[in-house]
Amino acid sequence: MSNFVPKPFNDLSKIALKKAETVVCWGKTLIVAPHPDDESLGCGGAIALLRKHNLEVGVLTMSDGTLSHPNSKKFPPEKLRDIRESEMIAALEILGVSSDKVKFLRLGDRRVPGENATDFTAAVETIKDFLAADQPETIVVPWRRDPHPDHRATWQIFSAANDLFDVKFRILEYPIWLWEMAETKDLPRENEIEIWRLDVSETIEKKQRAIHAHLSQTTDLIDDDPNGFRLSPEVLAHFAAPFEIYLEEIK
């Protein structure tokens, strides 16, 4: 499967390095992570750059992440949730975001409601209220067709919430599982999306440390679940580049 990384993601050199725009244009930014670790993998370099420029960064985590090691006796769901949340706080501390800026919605892992779910409207209302109070200038969410149901559902909730505002928030999207698991239908379509690279060479070292602060996802910290999840070297390699990929809808 790792050989199947369809265009345009199989040739990063063809994706433009957008020099005209830096994170300074993002202003106050809300980073949305379906699970603890998506923020560091997808946007860690940008987060550290934003903070370097003294821009406010908030982070909203949708799910509790408790399905990464569903059979662990040492880490039953509540303990696993706590450890994943504390890892995320540690990771964001490295990137320059203090714990009071990090919020956890604690929806069920793999149960973030997508547009066909009965509790979708309630989730959209929650996010609408959150955005009305928080007023970010830029919202960064997973790619709309990222091959994980929670990632897609997260985009759907934010997209629907944004539709409820007269003046729309700027939304950027980041890929996580698109690299490894995309089918052709998951990829950006012609004239749908602008794709660009953000140079994060200044902050890549911090980003790597933040990713590896998620010890439960990158080490044998939880060693009693043979089916436990672990980020593979192949997956991690996509997030070791000195740039991040962002996608923005063409209006």
Q: Does 238 engage in binding with Zn ion (CB under 5 A)? A: no
The distance of closest approach from Cβ of residue 38 to Zn ion in the complex, given in angstroms and rounded to an integer, is 4
The distance of closest approach from Cβ of residue 198 to Zn ion in the complex, given in angstroms and rounded to an integer, is 20
The distance of closest approach from Cβ of residue 34 to Zn ion in the complex, given in angstroms and rounded to an integer, is 4
Q: Does 113 engage in binding with Zn ion (CB under 5 A)? A: no
Beta bridge partners of 198: 244
Q: Does 34 engage in binding with Zn ion (CB under 5 A)? A: yes
Intra-chain end-to-end CA distance of the chain, in Å = 33
Q: Which residue, 55 or 91, is less far from Zn ion as judged by CB?
A: 91
Rounded Cα–Cα distance for residues 239 and 226 (Å): 25
Rounded Cα–Cα distance for residues 196 and 243 (Å): 10
Q: Does 206 engage in binding with Zn ion (CB under 5 A)? A: no
Quick one: how far is CA 245 from the chain centroid? 12
Buried b (16+ CB within 10 A) or exposed e, 159-188: bbbbeeeeeebbbbbbbbbbbbbbeeebbb
Q: Which residue, 38 or 173, is less far from Zn ion as judged by CB?
A: 38
Q: Does 65 engage in binding with Zn ion (CB under 5 A)? A: no
Residues 101 and 126 sit within 8 Å (Cβ to Cβ): no
Q: Which residue, 112 or 127, is less far from Zn ion as judged by CB?
A: 112
- State the DSSP code for 222: S
Q: Which stretch binds Zn ion (CB under 5 A): 35-43, 76-84, 130-138, 180-188?
A: 35-43
Q: Which residue, 37 or 95, is less far from Zn ion as judged by CB?
A: 37
Give the total residue count for the chain: 251
The distance of closest approach from Cβ of residue 132 to Zn ion in the complex, given in angstroms and rounded to an integer, is 26
Q: Does 109 engage in binding with Zn ion (CB under 5 A)? A: no
Residues 71 and 225 sit within 8 Å (Cβ to Cβ): yes
CB-based contacts of 137: which residues, under 8 Å, 6+ apart?
Answer: 26, 27, 28, 29, 169, 170
Place of tokens 């040492």: 74
The distance of closest approach from Cβ of residue 107 to Zn ion in the complex, given in angstroms and rounded to an integer, is 12
The distance of closest approach from Cβ of residue 166 to Zn ion in the complex, given in angstroms and rounded to an integer, is 31
Sole binder of Zn ion in the list 30, 31, 32, 38 (CB under 5 A): 38
The distance of closest approach from Cβ of residue 240 to Zn ion in the complex, given in angstroms and rounded to an integer, is 18
Residue with smallest beta-carbon separation from Zn ion: 35
Residues 161 and 127 sit within 8 Å (Cβ to Cβ): yes
Q: For residue 150, what are its two tokens?
A: 């929670």
Sole binder of Zn ion in the list 9, 32, 35, 89 (CB under 5 A): 35
**Chain residues in the site for Zn ion (CB under 5 A):** 34-35, 38
